[in-house]
Each structure stands twice: as C-alpha cells, then as structure tokens.
Structure 1
Amino acid sequence: MAELRWITAFLDLPADSFDAGTEFWQAVTGSGLSEPRGDRKEFATLVPRDGDPYLKVQRVEGGSGGIHLDLHTDDVAGYVEHAAGHGATVRQRGDHVVMTSPGGFTFCVVGHPAGAAVPTPVPWWGGSSIVDQVCLDIPGPLHEIETAFWARLTGWEHTAGRFPEFSSLERPDGQPIRLLLQRLDSDDGPVRAHLDLSSTDPIAEVVRHRSLGAAHVHEHPRWTVLRDPAGLAYCVTERDPTTGTLPPLS
C-alpha cells in the first residue's frame, strides 16, 4: 500500500491580508520565508530554524481562507486510489491531486520530496513553542464517517481524548503534524481545520501572540482561541511542545 511520508499544513490566506498573515506566522514560528513560487507567485514556504519545512502559505483570491493539508507519498497514484477507496473525491489532477474528504475537507496528494527531520520547538523569552497539530473541526452528523476516513487514510491509531468532543490519531515518529478530531455542536457546513500550538508557558505565549497582532477570541481551561491578522482562528494549548502531552487535570 502507498505510504504517507510527511504532512504539510497550508495556511490559505486571503489576498488582502496575505502579507500581514505571512509576517505574523513567520514571527510566531521563528521561520524564514522562501522565494515565492507558482504562476501568480502565490505560494511560499515557512523555513524553520532547524529540521525540514512543514508549514506553507498560499494567497487565495476568494473567500475567507483556511487550512488544507498536503499529504506526501512516494506513490501518488496509489495513494489517490487508497483515499478514493475510503470515500475521498478527486477534484483536480495535475502535478498534485486535489481531493476532498467525505466531509468536504480539501487535501492534496503530492509526490514532491517529503521531509525527514521534524523541527524542534522554538525558544523565545517566555519558554518554547511549536505549531505541531491540525485540528479537524467536524460537524456532528459528519463526525463518525470523517473520523473513520482519516484513521484509514493515514493508518494511524485512533484514540479517545480527555474531553468527549475530542479524539486523536497517534502520530508516528518522524511526522511533524498531529491530527486532532473535534466534534462540533453545529450541524452545518463542511469539515474545516485550524492550527494548534503547544507551549511551555501558554499564558506568556498568548501575550506574545497578541503583541504580534493576534486577537483574543475565547478562553478555555486548557487552551486559548486566537485569530491571526489574516482572520484565521487557531489555538494556543498547554500541551508540552516536546512530548505533545497535556499536564494532569487538576
């Protein structure tokens, strides 16, 4: 069977806030920026201080933006067949294959070189942090089929979370992105996604992000929801950025 070698998370940023959003995520992650590429120079890579890239930005001309995933494999045709066999739909073929999950979430199957070294957490004045998780936000009626799809597509073990609305797929060693699955209260719309950061000091991390231009949205006991300058929501969590684990419930 075709194997999943690497996951890249793409920040799809609206054209009118692309520069602000890109600068923000560079600052948050301590990354450099590659030369732009694409027919309209719409793509760029956030280059980490160590390890291999796994975050990229794309300027989108319509809509409010969002997150999509690139799934890297040595066998694009085989992986596309594997995905389609579990309910994904092919939307566009070319150098990469654009697909949607059963719940309507967009991902691409790509054959260009995958990474090999996972970046380490970025140190800063309050500790360290890293973007290391994509949370799939799944409307209630789609949750069961979407969760089963991603477990079969990746081959990663599905485990229950500490909170009933969350579960996760156990990330193998050598993968930069964890996948969290959240059951939403709403019944409407397709599956969406947002980024999560783990941090050694989430309170100071939130202060840092707000100083860089993020807006506070909502406070939870174990995470804070923020919005970046391009309008994308994301979370700062209290997971340990080295181990990916949460501290014990008090």
Structure 2
Amino acid sequence: MQERSGSQAPALAGIIIDVPSGAFDATVAFWAGALSAPPEALSGMPGGDAYVRLPGATAVTDVVLQRIDDTDRPRFHLDIAVLDRADAVQRAADLGGKVVQHEEDWDVLIDPAGLPLCVGFEDLEPLQTAPRPPDRGYLDAIFIDVPPDRVTAEVVFWSAVLDATPVPPDASDPAYHPLAGVRAVGGEPVVVEVQTTLPDPARDGVATAPRIHVDLSATDVDEEVARLTALGARHVDAVVAPGAGRVESAPGAGRVESAPGAGRVESAPGAGRVERDWVTLADPAGNLFCVVPATPERA
C-alpha cells in the first residue's frame, strides 16, 4: 500500500454505515459477516463507543459503522481524505455544499441534495483491506441516488469533491452518470456513479429521497444473495429511471420492516420479480445495497 504524498488528489477514505442505536448490534454483526471482517471498536473518537471498524473487510476501502440516534434514518455516507481541508471545504461550499459540524480531524457537510459527507483526514495513512475473494461478494461500487432534477448538481459537486471526471451516460443506460478516476486512499480505483431515481408509487409519486447505496459484486449472485439473507439481509424493491435496464422487485413486497429504531424501507407495491441482472437487499437497519455480477472491469 502506498503512502499519501503532497501531490495526491482527494481520495475516498471510507464508507461509513450510519445505524440507529436500536439496530446497531444486528447491523454490525451482519456487515462483519458480509465482508468477512471481525468488528473492532474505535477508541479515541468523538462519541466514545459510537464507531466500529471492520478491519480487513472485503471492500475497496475502509468500512466503519457509526451508531446514531434512533430518531435518525439509517444511511451510508462517505469520508473524503484531502491534503488541504480548508480549500476542499470552500470548493464544496462554492458548489452548493454546506458545513454543518466541525471536528478536529474533519468537517461534516451536506451536499446539494442533502446527503452528508465528511472531509478532512489529512494525515490518514492507507488502510489494509482484503483482496477480492473468489467465492463471495466484494464491496466495490458506490451510487449516489437522486431525483432527476438534482442529477446535474450532484454530478458537478461530487466530480469536484472526488477530483473525478464526469462521463456522459450510455444511451442504453441513461440513468447512470459515472465519475471516472475516483481512488481510495491506498490508490485502488473505486466505481462511483450518480444514479437517477424515479418517483415512488408507494409514496403517491413523491420522488424517492436522495440516498447512497453500495454494490457487492459476486461471481454467483444467487449464492451470494442466499448467504447474505442467511446473515439477516432482506429483499426490497428498487425504483430507477426509465431506460436503466435495472429494476428489482420482491414478490408482493410493498413494505419491508427493519430492526427496532431503524425506521422503514419503503418499496414499490408489488408486481412480483422482473428480469434483472442483480438483486436489491437491505441490511438489518434498512440500508439498501445491491448484489451484482462480478465483471472484468471491476476485478
């Protein structure tokens, strides 16, 4: 693993899984099993025992679970390592971001769609993660899901924050806006895309709230889904924009209940399972993620 240097661009420092207290233990156990990593409490952090890291996770970057209040919604957020925090925060603010909290080593911001992120970690060293396993999923992609009217602002914002190059959507998959050139702190490439979501029929056509979801790629999707559901994952519906070619619905799903304190995962009412090349699941707290076929591009 390489050390950070003065010329290094902003890099992904970690994927943080924010979990309401009532669902925290079950969700830590789930992701520890899903990513084959024993949980390790982080000491010396704001909030005391609020943070659990998964060292050696089968993931492209560090994975940490954060305990949040039961009144808050579960979510993923990203930590971004930079060499000049003041400059990075100012650039984010110029593009619609807003600082909501200051900590010694990072600032907490919200992006133009209201999604949280943390920027700082100037002295962070590369963290050791596990190599891609041959027989189970590997967390290697991040999707920023927003309604159509927020896509342009999100592409501009995250391209700047991650020092990425926006790639025009493929005509056959117009819902996906790739951001090329994103790297983790150790130098590994990371798939990051802004994804257009549809209004949710389960909410009377109200647009699905902005969120981040992650992908686990696997050589055998069905086997991986079986493994993850045995660990506590649940099938849910996912709604994306027309032409995306990716719609997953669980038979009769309607609504998926999650662990106490985690709130609910809303899903489109149930037309049954449709043709797809991946499966959408929720962890015990209700955070959405997808299991997708492994491809040479991600290997």
Q: TM-score range by the shorter chain?
A: 0.7 to 0.9
Give 3-state SS (helix, strand or coil) of 1:181's partner: strand
Q: Which deviations, in whole Å up to 9, do the C-alpha atoms of 1:112-163 show, x marking residues without a partner?
A: 414265642134xxx2321111111111111111112111222212222451
1:30–1:122 CA contact under 8 A, matched in 2: no
1:72-91 alignment to 2 at 5 Å? 72-91=81-100
Aligned: 1:104 with 2:114: yes
C-alpha deviations, 1:41-80, integer Å up to 9, x for none? Answer: 1011111168985111001112221011110112211211
Quick one: which amino acid aligns to residue 297 of structure 2?
Answer: T
Partner of 2:278: 223
- The equivalences for 1:41-52 within 5 A come to 41-48=49-56
* Equivalent residue number for residue 168 of structure 1: 178
Task: Return 5+ residue gaps in structure 1 as ranges.
Answer: 246-250
Query: Aligned partner of 2:285: which letter?
Result: A
Q: 1:29 aligns with which of 28, 31, 35?
A: 35
For 1:1-250, what aligned pairs fall within 5 Å after superposition?
3-37=9-43, 38=45, 39-48=47-56, 54-61=62-69, 62-95=71-104, 96-111=106-121, 112-115=123-126, 119-123=130-134, 127-159=135-167, 160-161=169-170, 162-172=172-182, 174-175=187-188, 177-186=190-199, 188=207, 191-218=210-237, 219=248, 221-240=276-295, 243-244=297-298
Q: CA contact under 8 A between 1:132 and 1:178: conserved in structure 2?
A: yes
Give the superposition deviation at 1:81. 1.7
- Counterparts of 2:59 and 2:223, CA distance in 1: 25
**What is the root-mean-square deviation in Å for CA atoms of aligned residues?**
2.4
SS in 2 for 1:167: strand
Q: Secondary structure at the match of 1:41?
A: helix
Instruction: Provide the identity percentage.
Output: 26
Distance change in 2, residues 1:51/1:207 (3 Å): closer
Between stretches 90-99 and 15-24, larger displacement belongs to: 90-99
Structure having the higher Rg? 2
The 1-side partners of 2:59 and 2:191 are apart by 16
Counterpart-to-counterpart distance in 2, 1:168 and 1:223: 18
What per-residue deviation string (whole Å, max 9, x for no partner) do you get for residues 16-40 of structure 1?
A: 0100000000001001222243333
Provide the C-alpha distance between the structure 2 equivalents of 1:24 and 1:51, rounded to a whole number of angstroms: 15
The 1-side partners of 2:165 and 2:12 are apart by: 16
TM-score under structure 1 length normalisation:
0.86
Is the CA contact (8 Å cut-off) linking 1:139 and 1:185 kept in structure 2?
yes
In the alignment, the residues of structure 2 paired with residue 231 and residue 211 of structure 1 have an alpha-carbon distance, to the nearest angstrom, of 16
The 3 A distance-change label for structure 1 pair 28 and 155 is same
Q: What one-letter code is carried by the residue in structure 1 that aligns with 2:54?
A: L
Check conservation: 1:6, 1:73, Cα contact below 8 A: no
CA distance in 1: counterparts of 2:129 and 2:82, whole angstroms: 17
Partner deviation per Cα, 1:190-210 (whole Å, 9 max, x = no partner)? 531112111111111111111
- Matches of 1:50 and 1:206, distance apart in 2: 16
More strand by share: 1
**Could you tell me which amino acid in structure 1 is paired with residue 292 of structure 2?**
T
CA distance in 2, matches of 1:92, 1:100: 10
Does the CA-based 8 Å contact 2:215-2:291 persist in structure 1?
A: yes
Q: Match of 1:227, as an amino acid?
A: A
Q: CA deviation at 1:176?
A: 5.7
Gaps of 5+ in 2: 1-6, 200-205, 238-247, 249-274
Are the counterparts in 1 of residues 58 and 139 from structure 2 also a CA contact under 8 Å?
Answer: no
Read off the aligned partner of 2:50 and give its amino acid letter.
Answer: E
Q: What SS class does the counterpart of residue 53 from structure 2 fall into?
A: strand
Residue 189 of structure 1 and its aligned partner are, at CA, apart by 6.5
